[in-house]
Structure 1
Amino acid sequence: MKLLSVNIGRRAAVAYTSAPSGLTGIDKRPVAEPVHVTAPGPGGGSGLAGDEIADPRHHGGDDQAVYAYAREDLDAWERELGRPLADGVFGENLTTAGVDVNGARIGERWRIGGGPLLEVTSGRVPCRTFQGHLGETGWMKRFTRQGVTGAYLRVLEPGMIRAGDPVEVVHRPEHGITAALQFRAVTTERELLPRLLEAGDALHAGAAEKARVYVARHGSGVS
């Protein structure tokens, strides 16, 4: 298990973003040099030095400090879409090889090389900017239907990373709440929301709030 690439993006003006600024940092490109990773704080921002966030309402912050996507899943999308997809094209900071990103459990911890310790918090919900960046009609629905979401991570310990670093799973919780299940719960299968609370404090704060609201309204039973 390793990082194939570390990807960062600069803010740029585009016609398709819903950000009030009209800017987006989704166009992320691999970098060869080491990158420092640290918790950005609750006010927004990326966990990677030099990576720019244009819409802190929905991106960045401690619960979404780093976004990882598997090269194997990009390869599958290449076959389905009939076009090449470069590392970073989904806006991911980390393109991985050999890592079960979608099956990673909320609270699962990854050590990257001898550097940072990261913790899985949630899957990634697609937005209009993502669709516009890829230029695929109906992309938001298509991505949601497939549920191959990738994973957001928070930074528990800072450090340096670079392409080629090994990824080691150093802690895997006993519950079965994966990034993919969390994604389905907040999108297409809301009856799963009560289960998310099994993940405890590791769960993305926004997802936890949705789960609590659902339980208050509908109870904790899962159909």
Structure 2
Amino acid sequence: MNSIGHIAQINASSGGVPKLPVPAGEVTMAGLAGDRQRNLKFHGGPDRALCLWSLEVIEQLRQEGHPIAPGSVGENLTLSGLDWASLAPGSQLCLGDQVRLEITDYATPCRTIMKWFSDRRFSRISHKHHPGSSRLYARVLQEGWVRTGDRAFVPAAGA
């Protein structure tokens, strides 16, 4: 398993998708400072403070013909270089020199993202239907700042 990658893009919006790139951001217990969600029933809160996704999954989807890009489906952090399929609820990630996260759940896709799928089948990123391609929700264990290019890594057991 590749346990060291990097932050390919940081994404924020005033609500809804797509989220647009920002060069850096403050990660708080509530999520990425300055980012908003429109539907708080399904997004946000301490156990869904951040939404994460894999650049490699996005690239695979583009190869399949989907017009998708980092931030399109609402992830706050687009990560690269990690063994995405091995990350699951309970996994921890460290970002940069300060931030520590715990994966809490797989993000269920919804119809607001269907325009980024050539066949409109947004279930293509459902963990239930396509394990290893889902976005992930995370809670913040340690706050701090992140920048595009920062390391993203799975800490050693017990670290």
TM-score, with structure 2 as normaliser: 0.86
Q: 1:37 to 1:82 in 2, by over 3 A?
A: closer
1:161 equivalenced with 2:146 (yes/no): yes
Instruction: Using the TM superposition, give the Cα deviation of residue 82 of structure 1 relative to its aligned residue in structure 2, in angstroms.
Output: 5.1
Report the AA paired with residue 148 of structure 2. Answer: A
Q: How high is the TM-score relative to the length of structure 1? A: 0.62
Q: How far apart in 2 are the matches of 1:101 and 1:118?
A: 15
Q: Equivalents in 2 of 1:124, 1:172: separation in Å?
A: 25
Distance 1:101 1:65 in 2: 19
Question: What secondary structure, in the 3-state scheme, does the structure 2 residue paired with 1:81 have?
Answer: coil
Task: Structure 2 unaligned segments of length 5 or more: list them.
Answer: none
**Equivalent-residue separation in structure 2 for 1:108 and 1:126 (angstroms):** 21
- Which structure: greater helix fraction? 1
Higher relative contact order, structure no. (Cα contacts within 8 Å, ≥ 6 residues apart): 2
Query: Pairwise mapping of residues 102-117 of structure 1 onto structure 2 (< 5 A)?
Result: 102-117=85-100
Instruction: Give 1 or 2: higher strand fraction.
Output: 2
Pairs within 5 Å for 1:17-36: 25-32=16-23, 34-36=24-26
Among the aligned pairs, what percent are the same residue?
Answer: 31
Letter of the 1:112 partner, please give it.
L
What's the Cα RMSD here? 1.9
Q: Per-residue deviation at 1:171? A: 5.0
Distance 1:82 1:52 in 2: 26
Instruction: Identify if the C-alpha distance between structure 1 residues 169 and 142 changes in structure 2 by more than 3 Å, giving closer, same or farther.
Output: closer
CA contact (8 A) 1:102 1:123 kept: no
The 1-side partners of 2:14 and 2:70 are apart by 16
Task: State which of 20, 35, 40 in structure 2 corresponds to 1:56.
Answer: 40
Deviation track 1:45-68 (CA, whole Å, cap 9, x = no partner) reads: xx0011111110111111111111
Shift of 1:159: 0.4
1:135-146 to 2 correspondences below 5 Å: 136-144=118-126, 145-146=129-130
The alignment status of 1:149 with 2:149, answered yes or no, reads no
What letter corresponds to residue 167 of structure 1 in structure 2?
A
Tell me the distance in 2 between the aligned counterparts of 1:113 and 1:58: 28
